[in-house]
C-alpha cells in the first residue's frame, strides 16, 4: 500500500508517523521549509521560540500515550499563568475574586454582578452567536469587558455574527458561576479551561513533529519539504493521485490531506459547482507575529497575556522566557511575541516588516511591561490561512462540503486547515491517529466529529512529570 500525506503540521505529521510504524511507502508533502505547521519551533537570536504560545494538554489517553512515546522524558511541567491585560491592569484567568475586585473597583464589580443576576432571571434567548452565548453565561457587563474586544480583534467581525461554536470549543462549560466556585474553593482539575499546568518539550513544541518526521525517514518513508501539492486527483469518485506544483503526478492508494479545505476543494477535478461555491465561502484568518528581542529578564511573569485593551492592536503577547530554560539557555534577553490578526484584503497583511516591527515596539512600550529596556532587534513571521472563521451560518456552508468529501473514496481530511476545525494540538494529533486506523485497521471513525464533544474520551488521563496518570 502506498499512502500520501499532505501537510506536515500536527495532524499530517502524526498520520505519517503512525503509518510509518506499519508500512514503508509513506510520502509526506510539506509546502514550507520545515515541519510542525503552526506548532513549529524556530531559532531567533540564539534562542528558540514557537509560532505563538502552544500549550499541550489532553485528557485523551490515546493522545497522551502517543505524545509521551515521541517526547520521552525530554519535557517539563510548566506552571501556567495567563492573564487578561485590560486598561493597564491584569486580571487573572480563571477569575480570582479579590484580584478582580481590586482591579475593577467595588462599583464596577457590583455592576457586573447585577448584570449577571439579570441574566439569571431573564436569560439571553439567542445563544447561537458568540455574543449571546457568552452573555448568557457571564452577563452583559463581563462580556463587554473580558470577551468582546479581544474576540473582535481575533476574528475581525462583530461578536453578534460570530457563531457560538467558537465559545463552545474554547470557553466550553465555563461560566461566572464556575469562576466564582474556582475562586472560593480552588480548581478541582475537572475543567479543561482551568488547567494550571501543562507539559512542554525542552526544545520547543516543534520537537514533537521534528522527531515524527525523522521516524518516518528512518523507516524508509519520505518527508518532502518545500514541495507544495497542487491538487488531489480523483477518478470515478476515488482519490488516486497527487499533482505537485511542478506538474509531477504520483499515484497513491490513499491520500490524507490537511491542505486548507477551501483550497483543496477548489482544485478537485470532479467537484460539483455548488460544493465549490460553499467551500469558497469558508474563510480563514491570517496571523502576523512580531518577535522583539528585549534586553532584560523578568519582565512579567505570564506565559502569555490576552490583550483586551482597545487602544492596542495586538491581541496576544507571549513571553518565551517563562516557559522552560532550555529555550533561552545562557542568553540574557527576553523574546516577546506580539500577535496580530487580519484578512488577505486588509492593508495590515501587506505592511512591510519594518513597519510591523516599529508598530510592535510602540505597542510593547505602551504596555509599560518592559520599562526602559532596550529592544535590540525584531523579526516578523506571517501565517496565511491559520484560523477557520466561524461566522454565523458557517455550518450550513461546511456541511455539504463535508458530505461531498466523505463520499470521495480513499480521501481522508484532517487537521485545523483540512477539516476547517479550530483544533488544538491534541485534536489534530487524534485526527491523524484515527485516520490511519481507518485506513490500516478498517475502522470507521468519523473524523469530522473530533473537536465537537470534549467529554467523550475512551479513557481519561493527564500527563505529569512522572508520566501518564490515568483518571
Q: Do both 115 and 181 map to the same domain?
A: yes
459 vs 168: which has the higher pLDDT: 168
Q: How many domains does the chain have?
A: 3
Q: Do both 293 and 363 map to the same domain?
A: yes
Q: Do both 263 and 410 map to the same domain?
A: yes
CATH number of the domain encompassing residue 363 = 3.90.660.20
Q: Is the pLDDT of residue 170 over 50?
A: yes
SS (H, E, C) 366-427: HHCCCCCCCEEEEEEEEEEEEEECCECCHHHHHHHHHHHHHHCECEEECHHHHCCCCCCHHH
Greatest extent of the chain over all pairs of C-alpha atoms, in Å = 68
Q: Do both 215 and 166 map to the same domain?
A: no
The per-residue pLDDT of the chain, averaged, comes to 90
Q: Do both 400 and 259 map to the same domain?
A: yes
Report whether the peptide linkage leading into residue 466 is cis, meaning its omega lies within 30 degrees of zero: no
Q: How far apart are CA 73 and CA 129, in angstroms?
A: 43
At residue 249 the predicted structure's pLDDT band, cuts being 50, 70 and 90, is very high
Report the share of the chain in percent with pLDDT over 70.
92
CATH number of the domain encompassing residue 214 = 3.50.50.60
**Cα-based torsion angle of the residue sequence 355, 356, 361, 365 in order, rounded to the nearest 10 degrees:** 110
Residue 320, domain member (yes or no): yes
Mean pLDDT of 430-449: 94
Mean pLDDT of 43-54: 95
- 24 contacts 219 by C-beta, under 8 angstroms: yes
At residue 455 the predicted structure's pLDDT band, cuts being 50, 70 and 90, is very low
Q: Do both 302 and 349 map to the same domain?
A: yes
User: How long, in residues, is the chain?
Assistant: 471
Residue 310, domain member (yes or no): yes
Q: Do both 260 and 342 map to the same domain?
A: no
At residue 100 the predicted structure's pLDDT band, cuts being 50, 70 and 90, is confident
E runs forming strands in 45-186: 47-50, 75-79, 82-86, 89-92
Question: Which residue, of 173, 194, 215, is where some domain finishes?
Answer: 194
Q: Do both 94 and 169 map to the same domain?
A: yes
Mean pLDDT of 143-164: 91
Q: What pLDDT is recorded for position 256?
A: 97
Residue 324, domain member (yes or no): yes
Q: What share of the chain is helix, strand, coil (3-state, %, to 5)?
A: 40, 25, 35
Mean pLDDT of 341-350: 96
Residue 42, domain member (yes or no): no
At residue 290 the predicted structure's pLDDT band, cuts being 50, 70 and 90, is very high
pLDDT digits (tens, 9 = 90+) for 329-342: 999 999 999 999 99
Q: Do both 86 and 189 map to the same domain?
A: yes
Domain that holds residue 407: 3-37+58-70+203-272+392-451
E runs forming strands in 31-106: 41-44, 47-50, 75-79, 82-86, 89-92
Q: In this structure, what C-alpha cell is assigned to residue 414?
A: 484532517
Listed residue (435, 116, 392, 88) closest to 255, CA to CA = 435
pLDDT digits (tens, 9 = 90+) for 116-127: 899 889 999 898
Q: Do both 86 and 188 map to the same domain?
A: yes
Residue 277, domain member (yes or no): no
Q: What pLDDT is recorded for position 372?
A: 93
Residue 129, domain member (yes or no): yes
Residue 459, domain member (yes or no): no
Question: Which residue, of 334, 366, 388, is where some domain finishes?
Answer: 388
pLDDT digits (tens, 9 = 90+) for 121-145: 999 989 899 999 999 988 898 888 8
pLDDT digits (tens, 9 = 90+) for 177-217: 665 555 554 555 445 555 788 999 999 999 999 999 999 99
Question: Which residue, of 343, 364, 388, is where some domain finishes?
Answer: 388
Q: Do both 246 and 292 map to the same domain?
A: no
Q: Do both 90 and 188 map to the same domain?
A: yes
Q: What pLDDT is recorded for position 95?
A: 65
Amino acid at each position: 500500500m502506498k499512502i500520501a500525506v499532505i501537510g506536515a503540521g500536527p495532524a499530517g505529521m502524526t498520520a505519517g508517523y503512525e503509518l510509518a510504524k506499519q508500512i514503508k511507502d509513506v510520502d509526506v508533502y510539506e509546502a514550507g521549509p520545515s515541519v510542525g505547521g503552526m506548532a513549529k519551533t524556530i531559532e531567533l537570536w540564539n534562542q528558540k521560540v514557537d509560532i505563538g504560545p502552544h500549550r499541550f494538554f489532553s485528557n485523551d489517553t490515546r493522545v497522551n500515550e502517543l505524545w509521551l512515546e515521541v517526547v520521552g522524558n525530554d519535557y517539563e511541567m510548566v506552571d501556567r499563568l495567563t492573564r487578561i491585560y485590560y486598561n493597564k491592569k491584569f486580571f487573572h484567568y480563571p477569575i480570582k475574586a479579590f484580584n478582580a475586585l481590586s482591579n475593577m473597583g467595588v462599583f464596577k464589580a457590583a455592576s457586573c454582578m447585577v448584570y449577571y443576576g439579570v441574566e439569571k432571571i431573564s436569560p439571553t434567548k439567542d445563544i447561537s452567536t458568540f455574543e449571546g452565548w457568552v452573555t448568557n453565561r457571564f452577563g452583559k457587563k463581563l462580556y463587554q469587558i473580558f470577551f468582546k474586544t479581544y474576540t473582535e480583534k481575533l476574528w475581525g467581525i462583530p461578536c453578534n455574527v460570530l457563531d457560538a461554536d467558537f465559545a463552545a470549543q474554547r470557553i466550553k462549560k465555563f461560566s461566572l458561576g464556575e469562576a466564582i466556585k474556582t475562586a472560593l474553593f480552588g480548581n478541582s482539575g475537572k475543567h479543561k479551561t482551568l488547567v494550571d499546568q501543562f507539559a512542554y518539550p525542552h526544545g520547543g513544541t516543534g520537537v514533537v513533529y521534528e522527531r515524527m518526521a525523522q521516524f518516518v525517514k528512518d523507516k524508509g518513508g519520505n518527508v518532502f519539504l518545500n514541495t507544495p501539492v497542487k491538487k488531489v486527483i480523483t477518478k470515478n469518485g476515488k482519490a488516486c493521485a497527487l499533482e505537485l506544483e511542478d506538474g509531477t503526478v504520483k499515484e497513491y492508494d490513499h491520500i490524507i490531506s490537511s491542505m486548507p479545505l477551501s483550497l483543496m476543494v477548489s482544485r478537485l477535478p470532479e467537484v460539483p459547482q455548488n460544493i465549490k461555491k460553499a467551500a469558497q465561502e469558508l474563510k480563514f484568518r491570517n496571523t502576523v507575529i512580531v518577535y522583539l528581542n528585549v534586553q532584560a529578564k523578568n519582565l512579567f511573569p505570564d506565559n502569555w497575556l490576552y490583550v483586551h485593551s482597545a487602544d492596542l492592536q495586538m491581541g496576544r503577547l507571549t513571553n518565551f522566557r517563562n516557559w522552560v530554560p532550555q529555550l533561552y539557555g545562557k542568553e540574557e534577553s527576553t523574546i516577546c511575541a506580539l500577535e496580530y490578526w487580519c484578512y488577505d484584503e486588509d492593508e495590515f497583511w501587506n505592511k512591510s516588516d519594518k513597519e510591523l516591527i516599529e508598530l510592535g515596539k510602540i505597542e510593547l512600550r505602551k504596555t509599560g511591561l518592559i520599562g526602559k529596556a532596550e529592544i535590540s532587534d525584531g523579526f516578523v513571521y506571517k501565517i496565511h490561512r491559520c484560523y477557520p472563521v466561524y461566522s454565523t451560518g458557517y455550518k450550513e456552508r461546511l456541511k455539504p462540503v463535508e458530505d461531498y468529501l466523505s463520499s470521495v473514496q480513499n480521501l481522508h481530511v484532517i487537521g485545523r486547515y483540512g477539516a476547517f476545525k479550530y483544533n488544538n494540538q491534541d485534536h489534530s494529533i487524534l485526527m491523524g491517529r484515527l485516520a490511519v486506523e481507518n485506513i490500516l485497521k478498517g475502522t470507521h471513525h468519523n473524523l469530522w466529529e473530533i473537536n465537537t464533544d470534549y467529554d467523550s474520551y475512551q479513557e481519561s488521563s493527564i500527563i505529569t512529570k512522572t508520566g501518564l496518570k490515568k483518571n
